[in-house]
Structure 1
Amino acid sequence: MILRLLVMMCAAFALPACAQTGQAEADNAMKISPVIYLVRHAEKQTGSDPALTEAGAARAGRLAAQLADARLQAVYATDTARAQETARPAADDHGLEITSYDARDLAGFAQALKQAGQTALVVGHSNTTPQLAELLGGEPGPEMDESDYDRLYAVSLTDGQTRMFVAGGDDRP
């Protein structure tokens, strides 16, 4: 009888502690780590500031669909027509404006992204996107050439873990 009472008293003190621990774990699970999605602009036409091709516009639309559940808080693109057009569908789907950034100051931009701590899409270029991934603490992957339009980086701001997807493909991040 005394042993049974002792077990019941221990359980009475332990259960609230377990409940609090469980709640803390649930609260942490609900927090979403900020992720920066990086992509090169989609397929472009020719010229000094080319717009997207029909295939590029279709890829930009599929990219927006891929990121539909990403809870984007910001969308960034360089001032070029091709980058702005690639970013537009995702920005529109999330009710966001596109903020232009200067690709000549990637280190400063990376620092600003880290400080903002937001889940964001960044549309850049073949010579800036892998470098920005690295500046954010992620893996740059192989160099991009002029024919690479399908690499989508997802860089976690929490631990720098990088995942790559096919941009504008059928797989969702």
Structure 2
Amino acid sequence: MTLLRLLMLIACLATALPAHAHDGIVVVVVRHAEKDDDDKVDPSLAGSGEVRAQALAETLAGARLDLAIATQYRRTRQTAEPAASAAGIPVTLRPVDAANAATHAGDLARELRALPPGSTALVVGHSNTVPGIVEALSGKPAMPMPETEYDRYTVVLLDADGAARVITSRY
């Protein structure tokens, strides 16, 4: 999907948000952008990843972000920072490690479902956490994410009655 089509989708969602402003929560879930090879444990974003993070921020500019969540790793924080900065909010860290890997997605989904109605959140994860987060939020199976995939985004619309709608595309 081209960036223009993604922008049009987000614009449509942003236009539709007032109808859901009193009863729904919007969660955008993405994997971190392309990583550099500067550190084997905690790499930063590559130049192409920085471009992708900025494109994400531009795409979400009309979405009125209330919360941006990333893991403790530089690549997720650096992916979330441009969008969070544009929204005037900090990036909130939700670490994931061996101790909480089994419960991370469910814990995060509970936290997101407890946001006030009308909230919009960005969640930046990893190829091995994004599908689980989407599934925990929506209750629907999510496609696995290969290590080489950086361009998928998923919008989960959480209705007040607990129902979830999922829109998955590429940017």
TM norm structure 2:
0.77
Report what 1:31 is aligned to. 21
Report what 2:115 is aligned to. 116
- Structure 1 window deviating more from structure 2 (30-39 vs 141-150): it is 30-39
Report what 2:62 is aligned to. 69
Q: Which amino acid aligns with 2:156?
A: V
What 5-or-longer segments of structure 1 have no aligned partner? 1-27
What 5-or-longer segments of structure 2 have no aligned partner? 1-17
Report what 1:57 is aligned to. 50
Q: Distance in 2 between matches of 1:30 and 1:114?
A: 14
Q: Residue by residue, what CA displacement relative to the aligned partner does 1:114-158 show, whole Å, maximum 9, x if unpaired?
A: 011431000000000011001001544321111110001000111
Question: Contact 2:157 / 2:164 at 8 angstroms: preserved in 1?
Answer: yes
Report what 2:84 is aligned to. 91
Q: Distance in 1 between matches of 2:122 and 2:64?
A: 10
4+ residue runs of structure 1 moved beyond 4 angstroms?
none
Shift of 1:164: 1.3
TM norm structure 1:
0.76
Q: Structure 1 residues 83, 63: closer, same or farther in 2, change over 3 A?
A: same
Q: Which amino acid aligns with 2:111?
A: A
Q: Distance in 2 between matches of 1:122 and 1:99?
A: 10
Question: Contact 1:138 / 1:161 at 8 angstroms: preserved in 2?
Answer: no
Question: Contact 2:25 / 2:113 at 8 angstroms: preserved in 1?
Answer: no
Q: Distance in 2 between matches of 1:126 and 1:89?
A: 20
Question: Contact 1:138 / 1:155 at 8 angstroms: preserved in 2?
Answer: no
Shift of 1:48: 1.4
What RMSD over aligned residues (CA atoms) do the two structures have, in Å? Answer: 1.6
Shift of 1:29: 2.8
Q: Whose Rg is larger?
A: 1
Number of equivalences: 140
Q: Distance in 2 between matches of 1:30 and 1:121?
A: 17
Question: Contact 2:84 / 2:91 at 8 angstroms: preserved in 1?
Answer: yes
Q: Higher strand share goes to which structure?
A: 2
